[in-house]
Amino acid sequence: MVMHRWFLCIGLVLAFPAQAQPELSEADFLAEMPTVLTASRLSQPLMDAPNSITVIDRKQIEASGYHNLADLFRLAPGMYVGFKKGWFHNVTHTFAAEYARRMQVMVDGRSVYLPSIGGVRWDTLPLAIQDIERIEVVRGPNAASFGANAFTGIINIITRHPDDVAGRMLQLAAGNHDRREALFRWAGRSASGSHRVTLGERQDNGFDDHHDDENSRMLNYRGEFELGNQENLGLQFGALWGDRGEGRSTDVSFQPHDQEVVSGYFQADYQQQLPSGNKLQAKLFFNTLDTTEDVPVSLIPGAYYEADLLAQRWHAEFELDSSHGDNLRSAVGAYVRRDSVRSLLYFNDTDKLHVDSHGLFGHLEWRMANAWLLNTGAFWEDYEMVGGRFSPRATVHWQPSTRHSFRFGVSKAYRNPVLFETSADYRVRLLTADGLPISTQVPGFPDVLFPDILASGNVAPESIVSREIGYIGLWPEQDITLDVRLFRERIANFIDVQCSTGKKGCKTGEPPYRDWYNLEDVMQQGYEIQAKWNPAPNNMVMLNHAYLEIDTDIEYQEYSPPKMTGLHWLHRFGRDIDMTLSHYWVSSFTAIDQDRIPRYQRLDARLAKSFRIKDMRGQIALTWQNLTGTYMEFHDSPRNAFDRRANISFQLDF
């Protein structure tokens, strides 16, 4: 019934054209086939890339109206998005879990994957949606280009060049759940180069009846400098700080409290065009995330324990892109990295734990004939905790015309265990209100409670062998593009935490304690479809659909939704009024270590009015989320009921 209403609504608008106005060109919503960077490290037309890639461009980002970065990935087929807390967002491509350890995430090529527990803390990235130029979502293993942890896919967020946003921008937003947001950006040129500075503040009260509010302040900077002699240097840095609501009144050992968050990064990118036409690139970056919290324990008045966690990463790499004639190109390079973590709670150590890794990578693109293209690549990586691994990939492309491309590929990828999976020694130390051991207040009570997880370190990396067929088709006369991916993947050495008895739970306070183990293999297969259609001027319709079938003997036999569908309609009325409707259908499933999530549907809408005052450009936008009614989000306990939400935003460029 909902689908019928959708098509009736679209048909009525198409039947009655908008008032006279400049027609949208294909570049307004569909654009010509984009060039992508993330699949092979070489700049390639999407048809030549060795992976299926969804490009979420600037216009789609603005049209969505989303203010949480994680929500944008609902626009890509096969991507599951769920909120475990108001500020804790989960984004996965298969293997939905609290910590998305099996997918790499980058910002301008800088990995933000956490070496401590894994995954990404989306709420701690010093990044404004308004500063994103586009997002490339690689749907499938890509360790051959970016190493371990590019296991089921990659998200690469590409930010806007200072020259593209010259001037000043002010944005104010408010909504229910006490959401408030303010953002200011300045960008311009000086004698030394181009600069962009963004300052922001945000607050949100999260879910009803939960202690999961968010308060953040953020700044970031990006500078681009021409050094002469075909040399360029890019510098970036940023910081975010604030607090998060944590804990539950129903949990005696995890009472409501605040978590203090401080994150930051520095990044330098160097490029030089060589006389031969080749390009040399080098990258250096540093990430840090420090969370501190004192967790009250209601059993003993005034008692608490510390749950601090520090995660840092140093990374340096170089790359040489070369052209060997008209039909052969290559990219080769190497990297070194040091990951560091510190937490007395998680690792039973006051000193930092370090793990070093290094690797070599290469990719070759060969145009064998007009209709045939070969992509081959490999990544060799030595990770201190598990040794060296080799991740190869090969794809053959048949392109009978410029409008159609068929891809046949096979690849192997690894996921190295994070430090919590190799070195966990999770012990709670109870303290008095004065910070003294609890035994000083309660004689005979143990200061250090039993370990909840005690890692033996005997886990091997997970591996995945992926076979896939891809197709991209263009029908310019109808303004239609179609992207199809069919895949079959075998995952070995799946890592999860269990008792040595093979059960999920251990008897409290008694050995055997929980440890990390390699469990049974997993076979998954399915397909992903993305179609875009401009049926008339001022309109775009986009359909995403993903189907996943899982065959495994592990407890989580349905760890990702079997079916996910998204239907999006963008329409421009007269008088600079834009409207977007996005409807999602997600089938029921059980995420890893979570309760079962019932199937749900969700309708989001946005209505925006643009205006000009002399040399200033402005926009007022109303956004509604989940007009179809309350549904259950990614959760364990308490249950996260996502209700109807509304937001209003005002933006002025001057």
By C-alpha distance, which of 263, 312, 255 is closest to 291? Answer: 263
pLDDT at 1 (0 to 100): 44
pLDDT more than 70, % of the chain? 93
pLDDT band at 504 (very low <50, low <70, confident <90, very high): low
**pLDDT tens per residue, range 550-577:** 999 888 788 999 999 999 999 999 889 9
By C-alpha distance, which of 601, 605, 627, 616 is closest to 650? Answer: 616
pLDDT at 524 (0 to 100): 96
Domain span at residue 570?
2-653
pLDDT band at 444 (very low <50, low <70, confident <90, very high): confident
Element (H, E) at 491: strand 480-492
Residue given tokens 């700080």 in the structure block: 241
By C-alpha distance, which of 10, 75, 71, 63 is closest to 545? Answer: 75
pLDDT at 501 (0 to 100): 65
Query: In a 3-state reduction of DSSP, which class is residue 71?
Result: helix
**pLDDT tens per residue, range 302-349:** 899 999 999 999 999 999 999 999 999 999 999 999 999 999 999 999
Render the burial of 169-184: b for 16+ CB within 10 Å, e for the rest: bebebebebebebebb
Indicate if the alpha-carbon torsion angle 354, 355, 360, 363 is positive or negative: negative
pLDDT at 17 (0 to 100): 38
pLDDT band at 25 (very low <50, low <70, confident <90, very high): very low
pLDDT at 68 (0 to 100): 94
**pLDDT tens per residue, range 200-221:** 999 999 998 889 999 999 999 9
pLDDT at 437 (0 to 100): 93
pLDDT at 292 (0 to 100): 97
**pLDDT tens per residue, range 379-438:** 999 999 999 999 999 999 999 999 999 999 999 999 999 999 999 999 999 999 999 999
Task: Determine phi and psi for 96, rounding to 5 degrees.
Answer: -65, 125
Burial class (CB in 10 A: 0-12, 13-18, 19+), 501: exposed
Query: In a 3-state reduction of DSSP, which class is residue 165?
Result: helix
> What is the distance between the terminal CA atoms of the chain, rounded to a whole angstrom?
45
Query: In a 3-state reduction of DSSP, which class is residue 75?
Result: helix
pLDDT at 24 (0 to 100): 38
Least confident of 140-149, 449-458, 596-605: 449-458
pLDDT at 252 (0 to 100): 82
Number of domain units in the chain = 1
DSSP 86-113: SS-EEEEESS-BSS-TTSEEEETTEE--
pLDDT at 300 (0 to 100): 86
pLDDT at 536 (0 to 100): 87
**pLDDT tens per residue, range 179-198:** 999 999 999 999 989 999 99
Q: Is the pLDDT of residue 44 over 80?
A: yes
pLDDT at 2 (0 to 100): 41
Average pLDDT on 44-64 reads 96
pLDDT at 127 (0 to 100): 97
More confident residue, 13 or 520: 520
Domain with residue 196: its CATH number is: 2.40.170.20
Average pLDDT on 87-92 reads 92
Question: What is the CB neighbour count within 10 angstroms for residue 353?
Answer: 17
Q: Is the pLDDT of residue 512 over 80?
A: no
Average pLDDT on 517-540 reads 94
Q: How many residues are recorded in the chain?
A: 654
Q: Is the pLDDT of residue 13 over 50?
A: no
**pLDDT tens per residue, range 572-597:** 998 899 999 999 999 999 988 888 88
Element (H, E) at 423: helix 419-423
pLDDT at 23 (0 to 100): 42
